[in-house]
Structure 1
Amino acid sequence: MVKDQEYLRNKASYCLDLAKKLGATSASVSVGHSISESVSFRNKVLDESNRSDNLGVSITTYIDKKKSSISSSNLLDENIKTLIEKCIETTKITPEDEFNGLPDKNLLANKIKDLDLYDQSHIENDKKIEYLKELETATSDNDKIVNTESGFTENKSNFILASSDGFCEGYKTSSFTASCVAVAKDDKSMERDYDYTSKCFLSDIKSSSHLAKETREKTIKKLSPKKIGSEKINIIFDKRIASSLLSAFAGAISGSAIARGTSFLKDKLGEQVFSQNINIIDQPDILKGLGSRPFDSEGVKTETLKLVEKGQLKSYLVDTYNGKKLNLKSNGRCGGTSNLFFENGELSFDELLKSNSKLIYVTETIGHGTNLVTGDYSVGAAGFLIEN
């Protein structure tokens, strides 16, 4: 069971009071507790069972425009006192930076919405093992499947974020994740593919039979691949690739990259950067959303951002520090995005396939060939050539 809010609040208050007494002009602190339990299988045999229990504190102290941070997993009062003393001493000798400081008070979250991010349910290891046995047995229900690996992980966490400006809020989160990797073989080739399910609530994850069917079918479909010649051709990305595309895009519009001038999207606000059919949204208030959060890692309230609208770049991801550099207000993205996604288009998947006489449906990319300075994107790809 993770530590309750009262315990974490008391530790956070102790840290802030002590930091002020020891000379900090302002301070912020995050106190968190997380528990993770995982089980993994390989070829229907138990491979590993792990449990981690992490309790930690991270403290940032300011003396005017000087700043330093320190963290520890030892939350005894005497250790925290030593920790803050060292942090204050480091702050004193750190060069001033005019952009250092806590967020504006009027940007802080003051009404914390319950986003239903925590499931009280707990699945014992024997139940995890039972799920994985069923998963691998069902995945192997074809002679072409020669190898399987699977895993089940349960995470629970609770934290408090507090600052000397009076902010003190936190919330619990949970996640349940099951995954399966399969290897298929025929006379011509051996191929690998996977599927997974991850939700905040245990009752929402895919059944073992469903996950097995998806993994098995995806893997077998990849057998006996052929190379094609070089040509200019339309492509459709499978939805599994969206996360890597969006991650690269988020890096290119991060406040730090824009402020440093290391992004090809610097000075591109309001300009067309995608097809007019593309909308990209970051929505932090989705109920039971794995990335949902009522505030960012500075306590700034989060709201839905339409980052790209009809292909035009509408916003950067801005925190307090880089916002000051760019003369922009923080939009609650310290720590990155929340639930970032491409908005559904007007055409269905089948309609997209029929809209081209010849295209490649890309189901996997290989490598990390994204250059955020130039905007070049070059990766290996595997998928299906679809004609007529």
Structure 2
Amino acid sequence: MQLIKEIENEELHLVNTVKNTLKLSKNINASVEVFIKKTIGISVNVRNNIVENVEFNSDGGLFITVYNKFSKGSVSSKDFSIKNIKNMLDIAINISKYSSSDFFSGLPDIKFLCFHSMELDLFHPWEFNIENAIKMSILSEKSAFESDKRIVNSEGSFLNSHTTINVFGNSLGVLEKYKSTRYSNYTCMIAQDKNSMQRDFDYSLSRRIDDLIKPEILGQKTAKRAISRLGSRKIQTMRSPIIFSSEISHMFFSHLASAISGDNVYQKSTFLINDLKMKIFPDWLDIEENPHLKRGLGSKPFDNEGVATEIKYIIKAGILQTWLLNCYNARKLKLDSTGNCGGIHNWLVSNQNISFEELLKKMDQGILVTELMGQGVDVINGNYSRGAVGFWVEKGKISYPINEITISGNLRNMWNNIVSISSDVDRRNNIQCGSVLLSEIQVSGN
């Protein structure tokens, strides 16, 4: 109860800060936008039964943007005092006087703004107990060590708890807020046999502490993953079917988010520049964005400009339905904001309602990728190249682990080559998707 009271008091303080800023801004002849984001949290890190660190954080920022006709001035600070707010407003006005006039700058149209934030069940405070957090982290490691003698070391076990408060207001009369909690636990273990040493990790992420994987189960899963990678082999260069496991498939679709972002579209720096309302995925595939998913990790009632979020299709029957726009790039493109200033919100990728085991059988022979490395993706031309590790699949069953491979292709072809998606949806990311089977991709090995 003490923590809840502290958070409520902090929220009230931040709301009053935004109110005071807007009140003071009435003395200037300009439109004003005010945003405060504050995160309060604690992290515990344990390694080999020893507490390595306990971190407390209370980070916040006040962001003020002034639109002086069509010139913009922005300033931020961690000092929320009235004296500093007055100074920030003066600085923002002065910046706008020396900024180039840009017809596309300005506050959102009032019809798109959020004036009544909906309740999304994002706030589930937990009275954080350091001793209990340490015990939970130690238990994860202990469970991993006890599960198999081949687990020889640990790279650490973490437990994190954070609360974030968001308050937004502007001179059009908006003053909205919401708060959320986020908890995570993570364990990384090292396995060894006579011939090799491998590491792997597992984690969980949720809005409620009780929804995290239990520490002993997390440890067992992490140990199993590390052991499964012992005896990894290299394979020959080939073209092969491939499965992106559900734990990494969100990365595959994150490149779509980048390719259809408004900034890349209006600058014509995306290979999808001419593909709006065109088919770029198989006709059975849908991607729905649902910002209003209860307890969703990407849920929010409004974006970073105060525009109300809404449920919409990104992909429908394989066809690209929309760009991801904030107010500025929407005006550049003569369109409306899609409420995506600050990123995407809960992409739900459809699947074909088959299990992961059925997906392996469908592939029959090929590569299951469980981890990706590097950043070799170019959204200007769609070229894709990343390091990978995983498993070789033979006759629909995992045969042996593989490493030191590179997978490459072009995103347009890769998306068109999606054969099926299984129902083992990973809900730990903004993009929720099952394992993805592609008919063919270039694999570079020996």
Stretch deviating more after TM superposition (320-329 or 24-33): 24-33
The counterpart of 1:99, out of the listed 76, 98, 104, is 104
Q: Distance in 2 between matches of 1:150 and 1:278?
A: 37
Please name the residue that 2:70 is paired with. 65
Q: Which amino acid aligns with 1:231?
A: M
Q: Distance in 2 between matches of 1:110 and 1:77?
A: 25
Please name the residue that 2:365 is paired with. 358
8 Å Cα contact 1:24/1:61 also seen in 2:
no
Q: Which amino acid aligns with 1:27?
A: V
8 Å Cα contact 2:198/2:229 also seen in 1:
yes
Q: Distance in 1 between matches of 2:15 and 2:364?
A: 61
The counterpart of 1:14, out of the listed 11, 20, 27, is 20
Q: Distance in 1 between matches of 2:363 and 2:54?
A: 48
Deviation for aligned residue 1:308? 1.4
8 Å Cα contact 1:19/1:61 also seen in 2:
no
Deviation for aligned residue 1:210? 1.4
1:185 aligns with 2:192: yes
Unmatched runs of 5 consecutive residues or more in structure 1: none
**SS of the residue aligned with 2:188?**
strand
Q: Deviations over 1:123-182 (max 9, x none)?
A: 211111010111100011221112211111110121210000011101111111100111
Deviation for aligned residue 1:44? 1.9
Q: Deviations over 1:35-73 (max 9, x none)?
A: 120010112211111101123211000111000110100
Q: Distance in 2 between matches of 1:372 and 1:24?
A: 41
Q: Distance in 1 between matches of 2:363 and 2:36?
A: 53
Please name the residue that 1:268 is paired with. 275
Q: Distance in 2 between matches of 1:43 and 1:256?
A: 46
**SS of the residue aligned with 1:188?**
coil
The counterpart of 1:81, out of the listed 82, 86, 92, is 86
Superposition pairs of residues 196-211 of structure 1, within 5 angstroms: 196-211=203-218
Please name the residue that 1:134 is paired with. 139
Stretch deviating more after TM superposition (338-347 or 246-255): 338-347
Please name the residue that 2:411 is paired with. none
8 Å Cα contact 1:24/1:62 also seen in 2:
no
Q: Distance in 2 between matches of 1:310 and 1:383?
A: 31
Please name the residue that 1:377 is paired with. 384
Q: Distance in 2 between matches of 1:146 and 1:190?
A: 9
Q: Supply the RMSD in Å over aligned alpha carbons.
A: 1.3
TM-score in terms of structure 1 length: 0.97
Q: Deviations over 1:268-310 (max 9, x none)?
A: 1121222334322221111111111011111111112211123
TM-score in terms of structure 2 length: 0.84
Give percent identity, aligned residues only: 32
**SS of the residue aligned with 1:160?**
strand
Q: Which amino acid aligns with 2:392?
A: L
Deviation for aligned residue 1:314? 1.2
Deviation for aligned residue 1:183? 1.1
8 Å Cα contact 1:255/1:317 also seen in 2:
yes
